[in-house]
Structure 1
Amino acid sequence: MSEVSIEYCVPCGFRERALDVERAVLNALEGDLDRVSLVMGDHGVFRVSLDGETVYDKDEDDYDVDDIVRAIRDRL
């Protein structure tokens, strides 16, 4: 089983975005994962990782919750 980590910038107000991704991941993949965790960060970070490998980084990808879930599913 696998672990998803959602790191988000607290000062930037990305908590709701992180919660939206967490909810979507759990709804779609809950039975395939051991853990989904929220990691508080700063400096504009918003990154989603699966088992330590980045599947989404706001600096490199367009934000789309469905795309993030698909990327995780594809790597499982």
Structure 2
Amino acid sequence: MTTVEIEYCVPCGFRERALDVQRAILTSLERDLDRVSLAMGDHGVFRVTVDGEAVYEKSEDDYDVDGIVRAVRKRV
């Protein structure tokens, strides 16, 4: 099974964004995952990893919840 981590910048106020992504991933893939966790960070970070490998980086990708879910699904 698979572990997903969503790391988000606390000072930037990305918590709601992280919760939206977490909710969307759980809605779509809950039965296929072991864990979806949130990790607090700083310096503008917003990163989604699957088993330690990044599938979304705010600095490299446009923010799209459905796109993030599709990227996670490809790794599951």
Q: TM-score, normalised by structure 2?
A: 0.99
Gaps of 5+ in 2: none
Please name the residue that 1:32 is paired with.
Answer: 32
* Cα distance in 1 between the residues matched to 2:54 and 2:46: 11
Please name the residue that 1:50 is paired with.
Answer: 50
* Cα distance in 1 between the residues matched to 2:75 and 2:5: 14
* Residue-by-residue CA offset, 1:20-73 (whole Å, 9 max, x unaligned): 000000000000000000000000000000000000000000000000000111
* Cα distance in 2 between the residues matched to 1:74 and 1:52: 14
| SS of alignment partner, residue 60 of structure 1 | coil
Q: Is 1:68 matched with 2:68?
A: yes
| Percent identity of paired positions between Structure 1 and Structure 2 | 76
Q: TM-score, normalised by structure 1?
A: 0.99
Shift of 1:16: 0.1
C-alpha RMSD of the superposition: 0.3
Gaps of 5+ in 1: none
Corresponding pairs, count: 76
* Cα distance in 2 between the residues matched to 1:75 and 1:4: 10
